Structure 1
Amino acid sequence: MVMDWLIGVGAVVSLAGIAGLIWCILLALKARSTSTNDEEMRLRLQRVVLLNMGALGISALGLMIVVSGILLS
């Protein structure tokens, strides 16, 4: 059915967002361990924050798709 497809797509999108969040954690840990000064670390972490917000938005969008599929079935 179409709603089962919608739930599956939403789950995949949500998992992609969670993978992005894990990637952000790894980037932040790498920036923390390899930065030589505070300014360099600040610039790297600002980039990570932007990626983190994007990944969080993708994950939330996936959850909305899943909930929509559940409500419509």
Structure 2
Amino acid sequence: MQALVWAGVAMTLAGLAGIVWCILAVRRARGAGLDEAALRAVLQRVVAVNLGAFGLSALGLGAVAAGLILG
């Protein structure tokens, strides 16, 4: 079960990196002074990545919990 825990840790860290990327992407987009339509397009793309990153983090944390419970 140790492999499940480490795989979960890796998934969680990858999801966290995706969340940090989303934060930085939004800060860059707001600082670039884009018009409303361009900013909306950037934010729609970032929201999709953000949702995937949160899902990956949640699955990773679930794998860590399952590995600890079963191990």
TM-score by length of 2: 0.94
Partners in 2 of 1:5 and 1:72 — Cα distance?
12
Which ranges of structure 2 fall in alignment gaps of 5 or more residues?
none
Q: Which stretch of the first structure deviates more once superposed, 13-22 or 33-42?
A: 33-42
The residue that corresponds to 2:25 in the other structure is 27
Runs of 4+ aligned residues of structure 1 deviating over 4 Å after TM superposition are none
Percent same amino acid at aligned positions? 45
Partners in 2 of 1:27 and 1:69 — Cα distance?
33
Instruction: Give the paired residue count.
Output: 71
The residue that corresponds to 2:13 in the other structure is 15
Alignment of 1:1-73 (within 5 A): 3-73=1-71
Which ranges of structure 1 fall in alignment gaps of 5 or more residues?
none
Shift of 1:34: 1.2
Partners in 1 of 2:35 and 2:5 — Cα distance?
46
